[in-house]
Amino acid sequence: MTDHDVRVLDDSQYRTAHTLFRGTLHHPPAPDDQWKFAQESYVPGCTWGAFADGEMIGTVQSFPSSLAVPGGAVVPHAAVSRVGVRADWTRRGVLSALQRAQLRELRSRGDVAASLRASETAIYGRYGYGIATRYRFLRIDRREAAPRTRPVGRVRFVEGEAGERIARGLFEELSPQRAGTISRWPAWWGLSIRRVAAEENLRIAVRSGGSGDDGYVVFKVVPGDHGSADGPPTRLSVMDLWARDAEAWADLWLFVLGIDLVDEVVTLGRPLDEPLEWLLGDRRACRVVDHADEAWLRLLDVPAALSARTYRSSEPVVLGVRDAYLPENAGSYRVTADGVTRVDDAPELVLDVDVLASAYLGDVSFSTLAATRRLDVVDPAALARADALFAVSEVPWCGTYF
């Protein structure tokens, strides 16, 4: 028997939930000027709270979104965020109750998958989330970079609402072309662009080629001490960059690297396969600061998720899936180059739903998962077939922090 209950919150409870969540990250309540942006992001019916003795002790929220999967399809998706349990109520089943209620609700309303950003890696695997995309952080010595080429198109600053409108339109056009990307809900732009622009020196630059606007970059500059060799460097942070093709992509990076009075250019979570070093005359000017897990993916409807993506040519494999929180997903699935069917056949590989989520977008192979004892191998020959079927030509990447 639990000593707490879980229910959907109404708009009168959103600020309490927001304050509770911030408190779990050791931040004070949001001041009024920040809360006005956060308030817009609370969607009716998408925030849950746990209560004990009349007090809120935990919360979890989601944003309506969609997810691009290998092959070009886009499926209904929930972006899960603001997960927190008060420190005096942790390890008493509160988060498990919140997760159980949320996962069940998301599946029932038609979401095929959910994803989140994990503050701690030990938490979410137990609820069926697996690391599905990764990214890297770079630091570039701009003065040493010496780009090998010059821009061929036009890059211009576009300020305010006009810049956001162009960036938003390009993002909605371009992002679904890469597996792992998610759609951005309206309030994302308010929190991530308008709020930051109001507080910091955020700029939007748009690239134009022969067919019009075809890429954009959002960045901010933190000035250093230009008059002292011992002072802090002037740092330009690339927050968001999307391009229609390689030419637009190169021009945007060349524009950023050509901005005067900047010492360092840093990136905040770019794709693992982005070939930025090859633009530079001195590759050593670009250093990888970190590799990190990005999207933690939860397959809410395994049959729908497996059927939504495409597969490479190979002989079939039968996967056995286990799912403790959504047991209707459990069973055997025959995966072929032509599609997926739920079957009664004995599985050749058996794995939990979080491990399937890690392999789903193609970021990790079944052979790697087997070598690290993350799945049970019934037929060793099935590994090569599964690897071939789930292989992708481009590393998955989300590119949206929330």
Which residues form the catalytic set? 124, 402
Q: DSSP secondary-structure letter at 280?
A: B
Which segments of 177-330 are extended strands (E)?
A: 202-209, 212-222, 235-243, 264-267, 286-293, 296-299, 317-322
Record the tokens describing residue 352, joined without a space.
């939990």
Full strand arrangement of the beta sheet holding 74-85: 5-8, 47-52, 55-68, 74-85, 113-116, 296-299, 130-131
Cβ contact 224:234 at 8 Å: yes
Pairs from 85-93 (Cβ < 8 Å, separation ≥ 24): 85/24, 85/50, 85/57, 85/58, 86/20, 86/23, 86/24, 86/57, 86/58, 87/24, 88/57, 89/4, 89/50, 89/52, 89/57, 89/58, 92/3, 92/4, 93/2, 93/4
Residues in the chain: 402
What's the rounded Cα separation, in Å, for the pair 38 and 23? 15
What's the rounded Cα separation, in Å, for the pair 344 and 334? 9
Element (H, E) at 257: helix 246-257
Record the tokens describing residue 113, joined without a space.
């998958």
What's the rounded Cα separation, in Å, for the pair 357 and 323? 11
